[in-house]
Chains A and B, each alone.
Chain A
Amino acid sequence: MSVAPGFGTVLRMTIGKDLRMEWRSKDAINSMLFFSLLVVVIFSFSFDPTAETSREIAGGLIWTSFLFAAVVALNQTWARELRSQALDAFRVSPAPPNSLFLAKALGNMIFVTILECLMAPLFTMFYNLRALGNWKLLPVIAILGTWALVVNGTFFAAMSIRTRIRETLLPLILFPISLPALLAMVNATTAVLTGDYSPIIWIKLLTVYDVVFTTICLMLFGTVINAE
């Protein structure tokens, strides 16, 4: 008698496996870090802002840098599975597909959050940032914003990996859909840094975005993973 692995079991095991493999090779986190750092440097030379301007544009710069780094992480999400044909094995197993999706999304979430924790002090130093608003909201914005990118990104990465242009397609389909979330993250961060207006409405928008798209991703993942 075969027993289908439970949702929680698959979740725990997949995240554990991904984190262990990443810890051993540190492929993703290294390339993400380096890429993010390069983006910071390039932007510094492009803009060279005063303290005033720094606070106004830092939100945009930080999130652009995190977005590009997240794409690096997202692209390799499924590559590993594809290489070892683990994806096909998973499809024929009775394990619930959503557990795989959530595991991958949470794994990515952990990677990108680690990156953000490492990059945030660097950003603060390079742009001499000081939050004039309520700095305690920044972690909230970071979590909501990162999840918005990661949840759709993990889903779209699963789609784009099955096309002829693979990694190239991911940003093409992810960025347009993510625009309102990006707008919200950037504005919320700028609001906290400059203290000029309240970030609350943006945080609410991010929450709505996260709820809507997490639901859609969970509803459609099974369909997409079993396509052909």
Chain B
Amino acid sequence: MKPAFILAAVAALALLGFSTYEALYVAPTEALQGEVQRIFYYHVPCAWVAGLCFFFNFCASAWFLFRRNQAVDAFALASAEVGVVFCTIVLITGPLWARPVWGIWWTWDARLTTTFVLWLIYASYLILRKFATGGQGAVLGAALSIFGFADVPIVYFSIRIFRTQHPQPVIAGGENSGLEIHMLYAFLWNLLAFTILGLVIVWARYLVQRVDQAVEEAHKAAALRESAAGGAA
């Protein structure tokens, strides 16, 4: 495995260790929510990384439809899968935060519902790619990715409209409303740590996918050799 990758991985983990320390011990306790608020230092950066991954997937998918480059496709699949992993984390840590603070596990508001739909769209993308036959998965997946990207803003607005017509008690102000300076530091350190960690994990998945592609090619070459040998015999 490439030394650059190992270096990046170690750096990412070290950074995460430091940022976690900042989040758990250095940042002051929040006045209203108490200790539970510290989930915020993990939850929001993970949401940011998930969004970044899905954006990378859209770019890679669009590029792939123009230039059928195997490496680009590997990157598309890698970023989609890692995006789903981080999105899963967001959907688990979110309710774990909401339950003690607001008394509810979940609400169908614009942000949560859109996150959930995003997860569903990309989970379906992974299933499509997994079960597509031959080399079609790359093209079909890229097409679905375009659909997904166009859909997400529509999803968000449709639920915003829904909530203006059927309002629910509003969940207390955005997580970033008036962050105290030491909390901001902890948050930014975690944002940096998770971004780098996310990129490293995408890189890792990309490397695995490249080997997978090589194996596919090797299978095809072997099958070709066999049929040529069989034909000649």
Contact = CB atoms under 8 A, between A and B. Distances in A.
A–B direct contact (CB < 8 Å): yes
Interface of A: 152, 156, 159-160, 162-165, 169, 172-173, 175-177, 179-180, 183-184, 187, 197, 201-202, 205, 208-209, 212-213, 216, 220, 223-224, 227-228
15 contacts: A169-B128, A173-B128, A176-B121, A177-B121, A177-B151, A179-B155, A180-B157, A180-B158, A183-B162, A184-B158, A216-B146, A216-B150, A224-B140, A227-B136, A227-B139
Nearest to B155: A180
Contacts of B150: 212-213, 216
A159 B144 contact: yes
Contact of B161 (A173, A205, A216, A220): A205
Contact of B143 (A169, A172, A220): A220
B84 to A, nearest CB: 13
A169 B148 CA distance: 16
Given A216-B150, A227-B136, A228-B135, A173 B162 contact: no
B86 to A, nearest CB: 18
Contact of B124 (A176, A187, A212, A224): A176
Contacts of B132: 162-164
Contacts of B143: 159, 220, 223-224
Interface string B115-159: 001001100110110011111100110011011101100110111
How extensive is the interface on chain B, given as a class? 20 to 34
Contact of A205 (B125, B134, B158): B158
A176 B117 contact: yes
Nearest to B132: A163
B177 interface: no
